[in-house]
Amino acid sequence: MGAAAMDWLRPEPGERILDVGCGCGGTTAELAAAAGPGGAAVGVDLAESMVAAARRRFPRDRHPGLRFVTADIETVEAVPGAPFDAVFSRMALMLAADPVAGCATIRRSLRPGGRLAATVFRAGSANPWLFAVMLGVAPHVGPLPPLPMGDEPGPFAFADPGRVRRVLTAGGFADVTVRPYDVILEAPDEREPVAEWLIEMGPAGAAYRAAATSSQEAARAAAARLLERFREPGVGYRLPAGIWLVTAVTAP
CB of 42 to ligand SAM, least distance (A): 12
Which among 56-64, 86-94, 141-149, 242-250 is the span making contact with ligand SAM, rule CB under 6 A? 86-94
Q: Does 185 bind ligand SAM (CB under 6 A)?
A: no
d(CA 162, CA 154): 17
Burial grade of 223 (CB within 10 A; 0-12, 13-18, 19 or more): buried
d(CA 20, CA 68): 10
Which among 95-103, 173-181, 210-218, 230-238 is the span making contact with ligand SAM, rule CB under 6 A? 95-103
4 to 43: interface string for ligand SAM, x by CB under 6 A: -----------------xxx---x----------------
Which pairing describes strands 16-20 and 40-45: parallel, antiparallel, or unpaired? Answer: parallel
Q: Of 103, 156, 107, which is closest to residue 130 (Cα–Cα)? A: 156
Q: Of 136, 71, 133, 137, which is closest to residue 105 (Cα–Cα)? A: 71
CB of 153 to ligand SAM, least distance (A): 8
Among 30, 45, 85, 196, binds ligand SAM (CB under 6 A): 45
Q: Are 6 and 33 in contact (CB under 8 A)?
A: no
Among 11, 65, 102, 171, binds ligand SAM (CB under 6 A): 102
Q: Are 140 and 210 in contact (CB under 8 A)?
A: no
Q: Cβ closer to ligand SAM: 86 or 140?
A: 86
Q: Cβ closer to ligand SAM: 91 or 194?
A: 91
Among 16, 55, 63, 90, binds ligand SAM (CB under 6 A): 90
d(CA 116, CA 103): 10
User: Which residues here bind ligand SAM, judged by CB under 6 A?
Assistant: 21-23, 27, 44-47, 50, 72-74, 90-92, 95-96, 102
